[in-house]
């Protein structure tokens, strides 16, 4: 398939199902290095106030700077990633978020949710203006609290949604019936609309399940307002021009540890 064909197929899948994936995009060893960087960043985040934000019991989210991920350039220049971004969002897509979620042993079911309220352009024109890419740091097993998604729900819209994000429990039957659990392997990449209704599930294992998150905005999207990605001058100077075109963030002398801004209050207690 050509790059155009790859992007077109991904765009069709995302508009239809809200999610698509590329199996074996990277080697397992690349993913192992990613996990090392995630675990280092998590330890640093937990050692300072507001370095991590809870997404339910035993479940955390941390935003990081590109320099904290050795494979950042590999990721944002991967042909599948760039083809999907351009096909769905157009050539002016922007990198606005780099972070990770970690559910640990004891994490419980999250309530069904989307990651932010539906933008007006999606509600009125049926147009998606952002994407979330996910990469697992482990080979996902059934008892590790896999990600669960309800395909085809990214355009669901109702005044009954709490904060525009949480469908009422009376509507859970729709999402339970559509629910698909994902079992990605190290090296796989998924791309989804963060509007697609989804949840993390109960982790019955004694293992953590770290997942990298790469957030991309199209023109006019405002998700970057929730994030504080920055790079140093030396790092910026060494970046390929291809990356600079899509990474519109502050260039600073010294990186400041990120205080997490993208809190989702409705996830703190889990399904209960």
Of all helices (H) and strands (E), which one includes residue 30? helix 28-46
**Per-residue burial over 133-142, b = 16 or more CB atoms within 10 Å of its CB, e = otherwise:** bbbbbbebee
Please check the confidence at residue 43 and state whether its pLDDT lies above 50.
yes
What does R_g of the chain's alpha carbons equal in angstroms? 18
- The domain limits of the chain are 3-261
What class does CATH assign to 3-261?
Answer: mainly beta
Instruction: Decide the pairing of beta strands 130-136 and 211-217.
Output: antiparallel
- Cα(138)–Cα(34) distance, integer angstroms: 10
Q: What is the pLDDT of residue 54?
A: 87
Taking residue 188's Cβ as centre, other Cβ atoms within 10 Å add up to 21
Q: What is the pLDDT of residue 266?
A: 52
pTM above 0.85, yes or no: yes
**Per-residue burial over 152-184, b = 16 or more CB atoms within 10 Å of its CB, e = otherwise:** bbbebeeeebeeebbbeeebbebbeeebeebeb
With CA atoms as reference, report the closest residue to 60 among 98, 87, 99.
99
Q: What is the pLDDT of residue 114?
A: 96
């Amino acid at each position: 398939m050509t790059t155009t064909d790859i992007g077109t197929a991904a765009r069709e899948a995302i508009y239809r199902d809200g999610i698509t994936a590329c199996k074996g995009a990277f080697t397992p060893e690349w993913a192992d290095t990613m996990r090392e960087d995630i675990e280092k960043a998590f330890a640093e985040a937990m050692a300072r106030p507001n370095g991590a934000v809870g997404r339910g019991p035993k479940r955390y989210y941390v935003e990081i700077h590109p320099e904290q991920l050795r494979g950042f350039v590999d990721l944002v220049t991967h042909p599948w990633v760039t083809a999907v971004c351009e096909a769905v969002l157009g050539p002016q897509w922007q990198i606005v978020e780099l972070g990770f979620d970690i559910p640990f042993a004891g994490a419980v079911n999250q309530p069904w949710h989307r990651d932010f309220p539906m933008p007006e352009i999606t509600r009125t024109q049926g147009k998606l203006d952002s994407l979330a890419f996910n990469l697992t740091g482990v080979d996902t097993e059934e008892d590790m609290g896999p990600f669960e998604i309800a395909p085809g729900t990214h355009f669901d819209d109702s005044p009954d949604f709490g904060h525009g994000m949480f469908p009422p429990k009376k509507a859970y039957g729709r999402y339970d019936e559509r629910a698909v659990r994902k079992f990605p392997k190290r090296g796989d990449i998924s791309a989804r609309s963060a509007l697609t209704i989804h949840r993390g599930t109960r982790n019955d294992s004694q293992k953590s399940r770290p997942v990298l998150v790469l957030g991309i905005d199209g023109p006019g999207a405002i998700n970057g307002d929730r994030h504080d990605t920055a790079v140093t001058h030396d790092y910026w100077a060494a970046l390929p021009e291809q990356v600079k075109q899509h990474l519109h963030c502050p260039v600073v002398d010294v990186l400041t540890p990120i205080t997490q801004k993208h809190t989702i209050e409705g996830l703190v207690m889990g399904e209960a």
